[in-house]
Structure 1
Amino acid sequence: MPWTDERYPAAMRRLPPRVRQKAVEIANALLAEGSDDGKAIRIGIAKAKEWARRQLPGGAR
């Protein structure tokens, strides 16, 4: 089941909102491609943090 801004994995709870939104987006895309939940969550968080470091002032915290 895809995640949303209101319903997301506990592992994403402490991410800043914009980074969490990106992590959810990435994780949902991975789920659609057939990845399992755990892998999608881990990759989604890692890639969202990379995105934040490149895109957001101050990067991911």
Structure 2
Amino acid sequence: MDSMFEDFKTDLDSLNPLVRKKALEIAKQLVLKKNYTEKEAITKAIIKAEEWFYDLEG
């Protein structure tokens, strides 16, 4: 788990491991490149990662 998002561990714990990993990748990029707050980034990233996962599953 990225220490940047340690405060949101409970939001991430219930996710599928692939979704969690993707959400952390997305959230990190949002914070670093788009100036999102950590809370905004993790919320948006979880949604995007779940969409990504469902697209993989068909």
Give the TM-score normalised by structure 2.
0.79
More helix by share: 2
Higher relative contact order, structure no. (Cα contacts within 8 Å, ≥ 6 residues apart): 2
* Identity among equivalent pairs (%): 32
Q: CA RMSD in A?
A: 1.8
Distance 2:19 2:29 in 1: 15
Aligned residues: 53
Could you list the runs of 4 or more consecutive aligned residues of structure 1 that deviate by over 3 angstroms after TM superposition?
none
Matched ranges for 1:13-32 at <5 A: 13-32=13-32
Gaps in structure 1 of 5+ consecutive residues? none
Gaps in structure 2 of 5+ consecutive residues? none
